[in-house]
Amino acid sequence: MIGIIDSGIGGRGIEKEIRKLLPEAKIIYFADSQNFPYGTKPVRVLHRILEKNIAFLIQKGVQIIVLACNSATVSSVEYLRRKFKVPIVGVVPAIKPAARMTKTKKIAIFSTPITSNSQAQKKLIRQYCRGIDVFKIPFRNLARLIEENKKSAFTSEVRAKWLKYQDKNIDTIVLGCTHYTLIKKEIQEIVGPKVKLIDSNLAVARRVKKVYDKLRKEKNGR
């Protein structure tokens, strides 16, 4: 059984991709709306929240945990892997493929403040973005507006931020929060058709499938 954790509906995009690759798998989607949003929580607080949620899912029989949240992953995944024996698959901003994709050598990263300021994201930028201008664009309230389905508010939020960067010749945007992937169409309309949007949903699903297949082979003694 696979357990997917996010602080709301953001991880539904990852769940959708996992179900395509593993239609036979049993999945529990844990929408932790009580602690929404993860992206503005102090790291120690997030550790406690995620420990509790993972322990609950393990009690339910979950054998693979998916942290379907960039903020939870960059702040807590290594800590949680030391705490639990079950495989934990996280999601990080798709910086590596964005660096390969850009033609203008200018990319933007839309994310929460915790992801934008994280050492994990800084490491990815150092590793893959040599010679590339990276514009970090954090949104404090965008995930909440998406969660509450306030379309006019979330489109206004994106449009206001993008106005400051639209003349920077950015051709690739990383959607570094799973909530943002749910409004991909609206973001594309704002930034225009020449700008490519990239996220990690499919990459995470493929990683989950590898772990799932490995566990199944081990269970069958092959």
Residue-wise DSSP of 87-112: -EE-----HHHHHHH-SSSEEEEEE-
Domain definitions of the chain by residue range: 2-91+202-219, 95-199
Active site members: 69, 177
Phi, psi of 190 (to 5 degrees): -75, -45
The rounded percent of the chain whose pLDDT value lies above 70 is 100
> Residue range 165-184: average pLDDT?
97
E strand or H helix that includes residue 127: helix 119-128
Distance between CA atoms of residues 150 and 180, nearest Å: 13
E strand or H helix that includes residue 198: strand 196-198
Q: Does residue 103 contact residue 169 with C-beta atoms inside 8 Å?
A: no
Domain 2-91+202-219 -> CATH class: alpha beta
Local structure of 195: helix, strand or coil:
coil
pLDDT reported for residue 130? 96
Distances (CA, A) of 47 to 42, 81, 93, 209: 9, 11, 20, 26
Distance between CA atoms of residues 36 and 30, nearest Å: 12
Distance between CA atoms of residues 201 and 129, nearest Å: 21
The rounded percent of the chain whose pLDDT value lies above 90 is 95
Q: 129 is written with which tokens?
A: 């973005």
Structure confidence by residue, pLDDT tens digits, 50-105: 999 999 999 999 999 999 999 999 999 999 999 999 999 999 999 999 999 999 99
In CATH terms, are 2-91+202-219 and 95-199 the same topology? yes
Is 221's pLDDT higher than 80? no
CA atoms within 13 A on the CB side of 116: 16
Let me know how long the chain is: 222
Q: What is the gyration radius of the CA atoms in the chain, in angstroms?
A: 17
Is 163's pLDDT higher than 90? yes
| In CATH, 95-199 is 3.40.50.1860 | yes
Query: Residue 222 — very low, low, confident or very high, per pLDDT cuts 50/70/90?
Result: low
